[in-house]
Chain A
Amino acid sequence: GAVVSQHPSWVICKSGTSVKIECRSLDFQATTMFWYRQFPKQSLMLMATSNEGSKATYEQGVEKDKFLINHASLTLSTLTVTSAHPEDSSFYICSAPGQGDYGYTFGSGTRLTVV
């Protein structure tokens, strides 16, 4: 089945630094990738939709200059949290649409802690 590999699984960084999260589709081409943020014990919040070769579409309230999304190829989408602050600490998950009845394929998530 379709697999999305997300790295890193967890990262701790200092305030003011930038962190890049990668999602790769391993056995299929993902023209679209969704990026979510999840707070503890809460549901997923869609941050942005990335499409290969074009600019990402950000949800209302999400700072595009802070959360840089790049979808340069059909197998790689990246989210860069720039000038990270403690309030950016969260669980970030990527997801690619599936085919037919197979739903969406999710990465394993990245736990970001900003200290």
Chain B
Amino acid sequence: SQQGEEDPQALSIQEGENATMNCSYKTSINNLQWYRQNSGRGLVHLILIRSNEREKHSGRLRVTLDTSKKSSSLLITASRAADTASYFCATDKDGNYQLIWGAGTKLIIKP
């Protein structure tokens, strides 16, 4: 089942620009995770942020979490053509391994 929504549904930007995607969810969570999926492939884990964390970085990725607004954002800085993919957020409500998925954002980086 899908708990949250992501926006935008699709995002097209020029290479080198920053891309921001947002994720909202409905219930309390243990952690929130972001994944990338290239077309026709499995998903790759990007970042996990716990409910007591507000911001996390990994290379060109920056994730924020606002539990009061039940929302998270994923920022990709200095985008590259290889960043073209769909990005999904997923929440783990109880830490029991069952993820609830957002609808995803399709990101296109134009060279």
Contacts and interface: CB of A to CB of B under 8 A. Distances in A.
Contacts of A74: none
A43 B103 contact: yes
Contacts, number: 56
A91 B48 contact: no
Nearest to B6: A43
B42 A109 contact: yes
Contact of A111 (B40, B43, B44): B40
A28 to B, nearest CB: 14
| Interface size, B (range) | 20 to 34
Interface in A2-35: 6, 32, 34
B25 interface: no
Q: Is the interface of B mostly helix, strand, loop or mixed?
A: strand
Nearest to A100: B48
Contacts of A41: 106
A87 B6 CA distance: 27
Given A46-B98, A49-B98, A106 B104 contact: no
Interface in B31-45: 33, 35, 40-45
Given A49-B98, A91-B40, A43 B45 contact: no
What 4 A-B pairs are tightest by C-beta distance, nearest first? A103-B45, A106-B42, A97-B97, A108-B42
Given A43-B102, A43-B104, A46-B1, 5 more contacts: A34-B97, A97-B97, A104-B99, A106-B45, A107-B42
30 contacts: A34-B97, A34-B98, A34-B99, A41-B106, A43-B2, A43-B101, A43-B102, A43-B104, A44-B43, A44-B88, A44-B101, A46-B1, A46-B98, A93-B42, A93-B43, A95-B43, A101-B48, A102-B48, A103-B33, A103-B35, A103-B47, A104-B35, A104-B43, A104-B97, A104-B99, A106-B45, A107-B42, A108-B41, A109-B41, A109-B42
